[in-house]
Amino acid sequence: AGYKAANHLFELGHDHIMFASAQIDPKWVGIQRCCNDNMRHASLFLLKEGDGIRNYFDMGAKCAKDIIGSRRLPTAIIAANDEIAVGLINGLSRLGCRVPEDVSVIGFDDAYIAAYSNPPLTTIHYPKARIGIEMARMLISMLNGQTTQPNITLETELVNRESTASPRDESI
């Protein structure tokens, strides 16, 4: 999933991508693999709790404030989930940064709020119903004493909305 998000941004022409997350997770591994395949670089921005942060939306808004204060802004930000991404978009907007004109933002999960953010959030959709079905199937097999396939790979899907675009010639 991380690979798919980074690849979308590289295809748009981005060269300075940041991953905003509360922790290092498998998405970061996919982003790094995509960077290596494309000979590009991404930086990691770990969000910290505290400072009045109550939820992922607050984390995204705090991330926006910290990013705006940095010397070199990314051309695109991959947020670990849609809530961080929406908080980031709102925070960037309050600070005068336009999405996607100044910086592109992409999230993960395809949460309902993604379609209603302003601008609507580009995100990676996980097949949640299919995940549930496969988990139930595995559990039933295990309860019946049958062996199960240890790893099942389910495809994610890029939901391309309006929060990503080709980068400007220079970041803001």
As a whole number, mean pLDDT of residues 122-140 equals 89
**Lowest-pLDDT choice from 70-74, 108-112, 144-148:** 70-74
Q: Decide: 94 and 57 in contact? Cβ < 8 Å.
A: no
As a whole number, mean pLDDT of residues 41-62 equals 81
Residue 3: pLDDT band (50, 70, 90) is very high
Mean residue pLDDT of the chain comes to 89
Residue 13: pLDDT band (50, 70, 90) is very high
When comparing pLDDT for 112 and 25, which is higher? 112
Q: Give the pLDDT score at 171.
A: 43
Q: Decide: 90 and 63 in contact? Cβ < 8 Å.
A: no
What is the reported pTM? 0.86
